[in-house]
Amino acid sequence: MSKRSERKEEHLALAQMFFNKEKQNYFDQVHLLRPALPETKVNLNSIKTTMFKKKVSAPFFINAMTGGSKKSFEINKSLGYVANKANIAMALGSSSILVNEPDQLASFSIARDENPDGVLMININPLTPAKDAKTIANELQADAVQIHVNTVQELAMPEGERDYRWLNNMKELQNAIDVPIIVKEVGFGFDQGSIKLLKENGFNLIDVAGAGGTNFAQIENSRNSNDLTYLEDLGLPTPVTALIAKKAGIDYIVSGGVRNPLDILKGLVLGGKYVGISNVLLQKLLDQGQEGLLEFVQEWKKELAGLMAIFACSNLKNVQEIQIYYDLYLKNILYQLNI
């Protein structure tokens, strides 16, 4: 097994080790005002939407997790199966490994094999050569490409990048790739200045991926001989970075610490076009297998449709009408950042 594949497997094991389904996060400080008399009924059609010109059954999706190793082949096979059966979108983990290890293609393409007509996003690092990225996107029949930006993770990673001058290559990727591009954080959120810079350079869709879920500084710190635990608190809370994006006027996906259908609804009310979920789904798969995960996802769709009904929403456009308020701690952050 190569060093890159070995790291992929370590990330999976550490994500499982650090997972805590009881973990509280900043979604708990976001509250939605519920009408006592909503005058609606539960309807699964209320959560259907379109994603990259394809119809999907729900606005939430399986966000980027893995690929590039033997274990990740099996995981992506199951995730692709679930995405197909539930008709939800899926993003693959970073496929930049294919630039140097093309023999790992099957660990990614298996997801497309399992879900030939569904929405599939690929994920690459910001320094992936544009020609290679285009080839990977074509080989995997990608509907969109996530470019992940992960400076905190890289700094915590023993073998990580130390040069973060990425924008020029990102622009080359943008010019080379024919499908929509999503610039994605990995659990630390986007600030105002970075969103402004992205907009100025023609990027119009981001995944805010704020703090509250998987902490890649924590994961990499556990692989590091030095103590870099101080990096683990650098992230912007997911609700904060979502509202930063909203104020900046850019389209965005909400992810980072989504634990249940109510968090999904909150992500939509916070302005997200879609909501991404990673580790919760991964752990359900590891615990209960692909049929257990499929049942879990189908139940979430029913519960989200139920929440839509009790909040008087007959379709996803209505969620922006839900009134929202915040606990003082979160409100104070928003005040200091002038959000």
Q: Which residue has the tokens 């190793």?
A: 69
Amino acid 10: pLDDT = 65
- What are the residues facing 124 on neighbouring strands? 147
| pLDDT tops 80 at residue 4 | no
Amino acid 19: pLDDT = 58
Interacting residues of 106 by C-beta distance below 8 A, sequence separation 6+: 73
| pLDDT tops 60 at residue 197 | yes
pLDDT in tens, 25-71: 999 999 999 999 999 999 999 999 999 999 999 999 999 999 888 89
**222: how many CB neighbours lie within 10 A of its CB?**
14
pLDDT in tens, 226-265: 888 999 999 999 999 999 999 999 999 999 999 999 999 9
Please give the Cα distance from 241 to 220 (Å, whole number). 23
Tokens representing 78 are: 């199951």
How many alpha carbons lie under 13 Å from residue 251 in its C-beta half-sphere? Answer: 10
Model-level pTM?
Answer: 0.95
Q: Which residue has the tokens 């519920």?
A: 34
Q: Which of 105, 187, 175, 103 is nearest to 145 (CA)?
A: 175
CB 244, CB 336: distance < 8 Å: no
Amino acid 161: pLDDT = 92
Helix (H, G, I), strand (E, B) or coil at 60: strand
Q: Which of 89, 135, 131 is nearest to 111 (CA)?
A: 89
Mean pLDDT over residues 107-136, rounded?
Answer: 97
Please give the Cα distance from 236 to 190 (Å, whole number). 7
Please give the Cα distance from 215 to 186 (Å, whole number). 8
- Using CA atoms of 97, 100, 106, 108 in order, give the dihedral in degrees to the nearest 10: 20
